């Protein structure tokens, strides 16, 4: 088995699920279990400046081996946490060698099936080695595949000192899945000229633009009155929540959108007559359209307050991240070099907008320009997640090729 597979299979067995409701960083202490293992491995490779911060950020340096090197310091970053959307406890990955096509039963009973009928991309992997779940958990390729690929590339450079390279910085972050992966990332201490996140999907993915993103919490205050005498007295918070949802375009939801189309996504709704709570995320690549989404939600809340009374609807909107394209456009050599690296390896670059965000989204606005590269995974955040081993090995080669290209400039 290849080094990248061995590392990946070890990392995914460590439960690092983050918690969006926690107020600590890292949001879960168990993320430190992986952080401490990575620190141990980085020290064993004799990297320099290996650190683990109080907030769970791992950093390390592979110094340049080219005398008087004047080129850039390149960073490679991946996140340690897995999504809170699906359990990551007791991950038991399955290795499928020489996939023959067709359905792949994940659980022992054969009731949970990874099928090309639902996931047509599977047809691209006939003859390849796949790593899947056992149907009971997510896999954790997002983003432990990125960690394994970075660690394998760095290990290769350490074991082959004859390969010339400039200074390389490594960064592993907590809490990316809950939107807080860059909160305590020390850009100054990281001290790279630019970086790449390894946090993308299928082979060839190369991303330098992403959604502008905001989260909205809506608290609706009702008035509970016995339904037998409720006429002109009851104010039903649940019904007002439904009314608000209907004021937003029903075709502008995630299940109806793709590519550059933005959306309103209601992902939490709870309550009773007296009180209801809604949580939305708002997304759009275009800044003006993104602002228009915020304004529409604000107008809808104002309309309901005018109808039912001031204070009935409390709306709180918090910006989460912005489109990194604005920052990267003046420095496209970073993207172009990744593209050149892929092409030189026979990989077709798939330059697509991210329908989400990465740590690089925020880091690019914090002064560290950071586009995103593929890991090889599919179906993140659920029990149908899988990854192609050959794609992971290609990601390792892309990292090494980027380093080689900048060393030669």
Residue 106 Cα distances to 7, 92, 109, 155, 247, angstroms: 22, 11, 8, 32, 41
Positive or negative: CA dihedral 355, 29, 10, 116? negative
282 φ/ψ angles, rounded to the nearest 5 degrees: -115, 130
Are the C-beta atoms of 169 and 76 separated by less than 8 Å? yes
Residue 184 CB neighbour total at 10 angstroms? 16
Candidate list 41, 81, 175, 177, residue with the active-site label: 81
Give the contacts of 305 (CB within 8 A, at least 6 positions apart).
311, 312, 313
For residue 114, the 8-state DSSP code is E
Quick one: which of 290, 271, 288, 285 has its CA closest to 216? 290
- Residue for token pair 């080689």: 404
- Distance, CA of 130 to CA of 98 (rounded, Å): 8
Are the C-beta atoms of 208 and 182 separated by less than 8 Å? no
- 377's enclosing H/E stretch is strand 377-378
Task: Name the token pair of 183.
Answer: 């909160």
Candidate list 41, 142, 175, 176, residue with the active-site label: 176
* 176 belongs to the catalytic site: yes
- Distance, CA of 259 to CA of 409 (rounded, Å): 35
For residue 354, the 8-state DSSP code is B
Catalytically annotated residues: 81, 176
């Amino acid at each position: 088995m290849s080094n990248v597979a061995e590392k990946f299979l070890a990392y995914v067995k460590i439960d690092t699920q983050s918690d969006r409701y926690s107020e600590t960083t890292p949001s879960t202490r168990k993320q430190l279990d992986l952080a401490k293992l990575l620190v141990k491995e980085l020290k064993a490779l004799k990297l320099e400046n290996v650190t683990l911060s109080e907030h769970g950020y791992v950093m390390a340096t592979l110094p340049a081996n080219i005398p008087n090197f004047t080129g850039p310091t390149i960073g490679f970053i991946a996140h340690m946490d897995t999504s809170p959307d699906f359990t990551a406890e007791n991950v038991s990955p399955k290795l499928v060698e020489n996939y023959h096509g067709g359905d792949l039963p994940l659980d022992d009973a054969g009731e949970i099936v990874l099928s090309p009928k639902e996931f047509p991309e599977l047809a691209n992997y006939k003859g390849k080695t796949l790593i899947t779940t056992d149907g009971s958990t997510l896999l954790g390729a997002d983003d432990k595949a990125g960690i394994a690929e970075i660690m394998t590339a760095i290990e290769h450079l350490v074991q082959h000192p004859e390969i010339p390279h400039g200074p390389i910085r490594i960064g592993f972050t907590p809490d990316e899945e809950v939107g807080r992966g860059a909160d305590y990332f020390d850009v100054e201490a990281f001290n790279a000229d630019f970086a790449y996140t390894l946090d993308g999907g299928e082979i060839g993915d190369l991303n330098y633009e992403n959604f502008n993103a905001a989260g909205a919490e809506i608290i609706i205050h009702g008035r509970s009155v016995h339904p037998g005498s409720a006429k002109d007295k009851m104010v039903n918070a649940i019904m007002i929540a439904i009314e608000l949802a209907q004021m937003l375009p029903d075709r502008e939801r995630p299940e109806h959108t793709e590519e550059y189309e933005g959306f309103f996504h209601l992902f939490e709704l709870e309550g009773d007559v007296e009180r209801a709570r809604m949580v939305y995320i708002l997304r759009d690549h275009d800044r003006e359209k993104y602002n228009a989404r915020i304004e529409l939600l604000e107008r809808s809340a104002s309309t309901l307050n005018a109808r039912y009374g001031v204070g009935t609807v409390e709306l709180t909107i918090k910006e989460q991240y912005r489109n990194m394209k604005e920052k990267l456009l003046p420095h496209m050599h970073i993207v172009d070099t990744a593209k050149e690296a892929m092409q030189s390896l026979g990989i077709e670059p798939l330059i697509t907008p991210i329908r989400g965000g990465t740590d690089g989204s925020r880091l690019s606005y914090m002064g560290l320009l950071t586009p995103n590269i593929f890991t090889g995974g599919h179906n993140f955040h659920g029990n149908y997640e899988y990854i192609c081993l050959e794609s992971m090995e290609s990601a390792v080669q892309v990292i090494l090729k980027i380093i080689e290209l900048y060393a030669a400039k």
